[in-house]
Structure 1
Amino acid sequence: MLLSDADGLFAALAALGLPREHYVVCGSAALYVRGLRPRMGDLDVLARGPAWERALTLGDPEPTVSGYGRRVVHPSADIEIMDRWTPGWSTDRLIDEADLIDGVPFMRLGDVLRWKVAAGRPKDVPDIAAIRTLYRVWAGDAEPLVAGSAGE
């Protein structure tokens, strides 16, 4: 695994040995690995089948903060593994359509954008702007982002 971060979250994720076809990394990490955020706070991982079974060896599942689905919190790293994303999102689709970056499945940017817009949280405004700017860059309508300028 080539991915790295100051807190060692990607190394801790790799150490779990989750089968890559059964999980996806969601949330701010999907922006961080694409250079759209200078840092990430934690790893939010959506898992099914064998990956979820492996997560259950870390501890007892508890309700997610949203109350939709269950989560297991890594005992020593800031990693949360869930069996469902938020209502209206297909676990199978998010995992099956993930983008592989350095061998790790990440939520697609379009999905991150739709999720953050739907959540409507003030903390997501910089992330939404960064993704929209990237889309304009891809379309040739904007200058490239400077890493770290969005989301700070």
Structure 2
Amino acid sequence: MKTLILPGFSIKNKDWAEHISKELSPDVDSEVIYWDHWKTGVATKNWIEKTADGVSEKYKNQKINILAKSIGTYVTIKLLEKESSLTNKIILNGIPLEDLSSEDCEHYSILKSIPKNKMLFIQNENDNHGSYKNVCDFLHKIDNEISVISMHRNDHEYPYPNTFSEFLIEEKQGVLTNLLKELDQIGLLVGEYAITGSGPLAVRNLREPHDLDIIVLPSVWDRYKVKYPVISERFETIQIGNVTILGEGSHFTNPNICPVETQVKEAEILDGHPYVQLSTLKLFKKALGREKDLNDIKLIEAYLQENR
């Protein structure tokens, strides 16, 4: 998942943005957004709205993280107003409260609609563009449950790549990691199975998993059906905690789309676990044709386009 870095207004923020991008964890795929007025020397009247429109158009049908500083926080707000579903996690540093008009400030109320665990606010204690105390008071009027981290600095600099990285990558280490730990307890070997369903999307932080669906070779199915009961409803499954082994009749084991043996053989190994290739998963999603599958196809296509 891409993390966009939206810096402050002046050209000196270019160095900050590039430094942060370089110092972020290798697990964070970051991209600096360069303001047009850094080249032209003059900011157009509606540059913030135009920038938000451009980002929204470029990353439509994708999920992105935002790491913003100063006026970049206001660009983020305008982006949220336009397409809040576009963003995954948001980090707002140095909200420039002293530089914003009362009308500008009203737009920050959109933050009330964003889940608290998806936002991180950092304000230097004596930031000359907005002190920690004043920013806290401002945000608490929007939602008194918003938490702001205070940093002991007296300027408008925000050199905190480790803090940023920890927040941005913790999701991947959360739900999916716990599911993978359950999977590891089952005793399957690479080459015997592949993770399908939401798993190949979750490992790329495209969307959150709720459980883990896997397909296994026929010989492995025979081995596990002796240990665990086979549930036969719409199709056969073996349920082990939050891990579901999909069997005969499951759409993801349909040999007319792609045989299980081929899916397992061609699986991508990511962080030590095999995942059905996105191009293959797309075929199954297309055949299913449900609304959530069509949404997943958009995420897959956007990801493949971005990473081809």
Could you tell me the TM-score, scaled by structure 1's length? 0.76
Unaligned stretches of 5+ residues in structure 2: 1-171
Secondary structure of residue in 2 paired with 1:21: coil
Is 1:36 the counterpart of 2:206 in the alignment? yes
Task: State the Cα distance separating 1:19 from its structure 2 match.
Answer: 1.7
1:51 lines up with 2:217 in the alignment: no
Structure 1 position 120 matched with structure 2 position 120: no
- Measured in 2, the distance between the counterparts of 1:34 and 1:55 equals 29
Aligned structure 1 segments of 4 or more residues deviating by more than 6 angstroms: none
Return the offset for 1:60. 1.5
1:54-76 CA-to-partner distances (Å, cap 9, x unmatched) read: 532542212353x3xx32111xx
Which structure: greater helix fraction?
A: 2
Task: Give the counterpart letter for 2:301 in structure 1.
Answer: R
CA distance in 2, matches of 1:34, 1:6: 13
* In the alignment, structure 1 residue 81 sits paired with structure 2 residue 228: no
Match of 2:107 in 1: none
| Paired residue type of 1:86 | N
Q: Secondary structure at the match of 1:126?
A: helix
How does 1:1-152 map onto structure 2 within 5 Å? 4-6=173-175, 8-37=178-207, 39-49=208-218, 51-63=220-232, 65=234, 67=235, 70-74=236-240, 77-84=241-248, 85-88=253-256, 89-139=258-308
Give the counterpart letter for 2:237 in structure 1. R
Summarize deviations over 1:107-147 as a string: whole Å, max 9, x none.
000011111111101111221111111122235xxxxxxxx
Q: Which of these two proteins has the greater Rg computed from alpha carbons?
A: 2
| Alpha-carbon distance, 1:31 to partner | 0.6
Kindly state the Cα deviation for residue 81 of structure 1 after the two structures are TM-superposed.
Answer: 0.6
Counterpart residue type for residue 120 of structure 1? G
- Going from structure 1 to structure 2, the CA distance change for 1:21 and 1:64 (only over 3 Å counts) comes to farther
Identity of aligned residues (%): 26
Is this contact kept in 2: 1:72–1:82, CA < 8 A? yes
* Corresponding residue for residue 30 of structure 2: none
Cα-Cα RMSD: 2.1
Aligned length: 131
Normalising by the residue count of structure 2, what TM-score does the alignment of the two structures yield?
Answer: 0.39
Q: Which residue of 2 aligns with 1:147?
A: none
Q: Which runs of 5+ in 1 are unaligned?
A: 140-152
Counterpart residue identity of residue 81, structure 1: I
Secondary structure of the residue aligned to 2:237 is: strand
